[in-house]
Amino acid sequence: MKLIIAMFTAAILFMSCVQEEEAKSNINYSSLKIQPEVDSVFMRANGESRQFSIIGSVVSISERTIKNSGVMTDAEFTVRQIDTTYQSVDASSVEWSSSNSSVATVSNGLVTARSAGYAAISASAGSTTSQSIVVNVRPVDTAPGLSLDPPYSVLQFENFTTVSGVVQQNAVLSVTEPASGFSNANVGYSSDGRFNMTVTGLNPGVRTITVRATHPTNGTLFTERYKTVAYYQPGTPAANAITGEWLGTTLGKNFDFNISNSIIPTRYDISGTIEIHFEGIGTVQGIQLTGIINPNGTIDVTLAKSHNGFSISGKLNGLFKTLGTGEGQYSAKAEKSGWPKISFNEKWTAVKK
């Protein structure tokens, strides 16, 4: 009995499917027209989908013969009436196709963006094919690129600093430092994305300057970079914390230098010694370091010593990132008449003792 019921049910299902298939094939559209639900055919390649609707036109031709009759006489003519009606078409009853399925796929009128590019969407029923609508799939929006020029952290003795770097084209660039009330919401940059912004009016203390690059159309997409500025007014106790003995390191060897107040109020003096090993000459100890810390925190120090007829000279540059740390590089050369010039370059770091 159950077998009979199952076979009967299967037969009913089969017949309903056949009837549905016949219903599909019975529709003869003279033309098909597809249209997106919104005017824009731009899509994003993040799986965005858009439903296309489809309408079909059906042309019906009817003929009607009008006749006038007498006893002996007849007159007649035939009126041909052509009616074109438009009706919505079930999207699942037509065959949809995409010219580039890697860009966009379509199923039952639902177009789904896959990757950036162009794809022509069309539909057909029987021998009738609709027009094509080209969808433009754009890349997924990303936050614009932004990079700052080093240093990202600086100690300085003046209330302004510069922020520079490279930003992605079309991004909206802004620079802010809320604690000091500085804000520039639309910083300009050159055609290659270079920008150079001066941040003024810094309040003393450790300040974080925020540089933000925002997507031109999607405000939720942005990139932020930060520059930390430790600003202290020279001569104040806070600033004078930098003075004292410092221990430098280069190539695993230590060197000592001292920072002291300068006779010029806006800067500090540096003095000390360093030893450098020159190939062919050997290690030269006691090379004098003499220089200053500029108001912007950069270091200008000269190296000088005479050693066995060699004139040792050079420069040591860098900056102090905090009141207790500094870093930079130095170059030195040893010159002696009749000898080839020997050059040397290396990095250094230092901490306050």
Helix (H) or strand (E) holding 317: strand 310-320
8 Å CB contact between 297 and 291: no
* 322 three-class SS: coil
3 binds another protein (CB under 8 A): no
186 binds another protein (CB under 8 A): no
62 binds another protein (CB under 8 A): no
DSSP state for residue 131 in the 8-state scheme: -
In the complex, minimum distance from the CB of residue 83 to another protein, in angstroms, rounded to a whole number: 17
68 binds another protein (CB under 8 A): yes
In the complex, minimum distance from the CB of residue 78 to another protein, in angstroms, rounded to a whole number: 9
230-245: burial string, b at 16+ Cβ within 10 Å, e else: bbbebeeeebbebeee
71 binds another protein (CB under 8 A): yes
Q: DSSP secondary structure string, 138-190?
A: EPPP-PPPEEEPSPSEEEESSS-EEEEEEE-TT-EEEEEEGGGTEEESS----
Q: How would you classify the pairing of strands 182-184 and 153-156?
A: unpaired
Between 39 and 74, name the residue whose CB sits nearer to another protein.
74
Applying CB under 8 A, among 4, 5, 39, 76 the residue interacting with another protein is 76
In the complex, minimum distance from the CB of residue 103 to another protein, in angstroms, rounded to a whole number: 56
Q: Which of these segments, 21-29, 66-74, 159-167, 241-249, binds another protein (CB under 8 A)?
A: 66-74
Between 60 and 196, name the residue whose CB sits nearer to another protein.
60
Q: Which residues contact 244 (CB under 8 A, 6 or more apart)?
A: 258, 259, 352, 353
In the complex, minimum distance from the CB of residue 72 to another protein, in angstroms, rounded to a whole number: 5
Total binding residues for another protein by CB under 8 A?
14
Between 74 and 192, name the residue whose CB sits nearer to another protein.
74
66 binds another protein (CB under 8 A): yes
Between 78 and 88, name the residue whose CB sits nearer to another protein.
78
Q: How would you classify the pairing of strands 133-138 and 42-44?
A: parallel
In the complex, minimum distance from the CB of residue 76 to another protein, in angstroms, rounded to a whole number: 7
219 binds another protein (CB under 8 A): no
Applying CB under 8 A, among 4, 22, 61, 77 the residue interacting with another protein is 77
Strand stretches in 232-281, DSSP E: 244-250, 253-261, 268-278
8 Å CB contact between 141 and 126: no
Q: Which of these segments, 34-42, 61-69, 190-198, 243-251, binds another protein (CB under 8 A)?
A: 61-69
74 binds another protein (CB under 8 A): yes
Tell me the C-alpha to C-alpha distance, in Å, between residue 337 and each of 53, 279, 334: 89, 17, 10
Q: Cα(185)–Cα(190) distance, rounded to whole angstroms?
A: 16
The separation between CA 181 and the C-alpha centre of its own chain, rounded to angstroms, equals 27
64 binds another protein (CB under 8 A): yes
Applying CB under 8 A, among 61, 75, 82, 263 the residue interacting with another protein is 75
Q: Report residue 181 as tokens.
A: 């009330």
**Smallest Cα–Cα separation from 255: which of 278, 279, 277, 272?**
272
80 binds another protein (CB under 8 A): no
In the complex, minimum distance from the CB of residue 80 to another protein, in angstroms, rounded to a whole number: 13
In the complex, minimum distance from the CB of residue 63 to another protein, in angstroms, rounded to a whole number: 10
Applying CB under 8 A, among 26, 38, 39, 73 the residue interacting with another protein is 73
Q: Which of these segments, 38-46, 64-72, 97-105, 181-189, binds another protein (CB under 8 A)?
A: 64-72
8 Å CB contact between 329 and 348: yes
The separation between CA 69 and the C-alpha centre of its own chain, rounded to angstroms, equals 85
1 binds another protein (CB under 8 A): no
Binding residues vs another protein (CB under 8 A): 64-77
